[in-house]
Amino acid sequence: MGDTAVLFMTLAILFPSTITGTLSYSAYAQANTTTILIPNAATLSQNTTATTTGTGVTDFNTLRDQYLAQWQQLNFQSSFGTLVEPYSAQGYGVYQERPSNIFTPDMSAITLYVEPVGYGFKEGVDEEGNILYSFNFTAIITISDSQGNPLTEPIPAEFDEPLNSHNKATEAFMPITLTLEQPLPVGQYTITYDITDGTSGKSFQIVKDIRVAEVIS
């Protein structure tokens, strides 16, 4: 079975601003990225005895090399992104999706689940001289009202350090949770997520429109 590695983002918090000139508003974001790390196939074959009649490890490695070659041609982008219940993301594709983009005023957190693809890897070595591949992301989040007026300063999020793997891990997912310290008034809002690959410097943007209503129908 593959190991699971989790790396948490450290975030700048508490960005106060003003809504409609009177209401003081603060928010901060919490995010982490996770990837399932696949054991090195060569090491696995040395430690495991098995009888196969079909495609073997050599064929798998060839297919994976071809996949990674195509990966390098991808633009850095989101292959999937959706609003989920806060803190429900437990694995790649494992989460509880929200039924709608409508929230009640007493909600305290909004979580976006993202599966990024096309990110780059930095090559290094560990203390024993083994090759390591690392990746990293940063994110900037802004909240705007229905007229496009920003309600907070940009909210940044970044890793303390990159995630390191002996493989070029490509099944990463990123739950980004925006915590509201005061409730949003009833109305329409836009949350913009600008996510940057720390290796290539390339970015993509996800825009989510939400509505705050007293009653969800």
Question: First CA to last CA across the chain, in angstroms?
Answer: 44
Residues 35/203/109/89 CA torsion (nearest 10 deg)? -20
Q: Are 140 and 12 in contact (CB under 8 A)?
A: no
Architecture of domain 3-44+56-212: Sandwich (2.60)
Q: What is the pLDDT of residue 36?
A: 47
Predicted local distance difference test score (pLDDT) of residue 69: 94
Predicted confidence at residue 5, as pLDDT, reads: 36
Q: What is the pLDDT of residue 110?
A: 92
Does the predicted model carry a pTM greater than 0.85? no
pLDDT block averages, 10 residues each, the chain of length 217: 36 26 39 50 45 68 92 94 92 92 91 94 91 90 92 77 85 87 90 94 96 82
pLDDT attached to residue 33:
56
Q: Which residue has the tokens 């990463």?
A: 172
The pLDDT score that the predictor gives to residue 159 is: 59
CB atoms closer than 10 angstroms to residue 76: 19
